[in-house]
Copies of this chain bind each other. A is one copy, B any other.
């Protein structure tokens, strides 16, 4: 595995957790049920690991965390992680978020309200934000094109507030006197 450029920037928790009646695990069990599939220990371990926080993650991170022996839930093989991530995506529990340069990462698609992302070109930080208007505009535009919108994926690229702020001056003119 690679430990390349970190994919660890947290998805800033501007958004409060949604009220969800069933846990991600239950939700997954339901999905599997309708397809004659089973909720195994491995699958449950993976879902718990993924939904333990609201960070973004990629396949490799989950593989390395679950592949080595662990305190609680048992370890899970690489193949199973891949197989389960695909299922979780179909189940609508997670989805991919593309990041301009870097590779793609997953994010939770259950338990949190619909939101979009700001991606800073300087520090690569990914910030979630929520705006009602965007959806309604899209809803209308879609209708105009005879398209039945189910959802959307939006990334706004640019420079975040922190990176835009000029670096702190070391010496001010006054110091020179």
Q: What is the interface of chain A, defined by CB distance below 8 A to chain B?
A: 96, 98, 100, 104, 118, 120-121, 127, 129, 131, 133-134, 137-138, 141-142, 145-161, 164
Counting chain B CB atoms within 10 Å of each CB, the highest count among A137, A145, A148 belongs to A148
Query: Could you tell me if B153 and A155 are in contact, using CB atoms closer than 8 angstroms?
Result: yes
> How many angstroms between the C-alpha atoms of A98 and B99 in the bound complex?
10
Query: Could you tell me if A149 and B156 are in contact, using CB atoms closer than 8 angstroms?
Result: yes
Min Cβ gap A101→B in Å is 8
Q: Given A134-B137, A141-B131, is A158 in contact with B154 using a C-beta cutoff of 8 Å?
A: no
Q: Given A98-B96, A134-B137, is A158 in contact with B164 using a C-beta cutoff of 8 Å?
A: no
Which partner residue on chain B sits nearest A121 by CB separation?
Answer: B150
Which partner residue on chain B sits nearest A140 by CB separation?
Answer: B133
Which partner residue on chain B sits nearest A138 by CB separation?
Answer: B156
Residues of B within 8 A of A134 (CB): 134, 137-138, 141
A137 partner, pick from B137, B150, B161, beta carbons under 8 A: B137
Query: Could you tell me if A98 and B158 are in contact, using CB atoms closer than 8 angstroms?
Result: no
> How many angstroms between the C-alpha atoms of A133 and B139 in the bound complex?
12
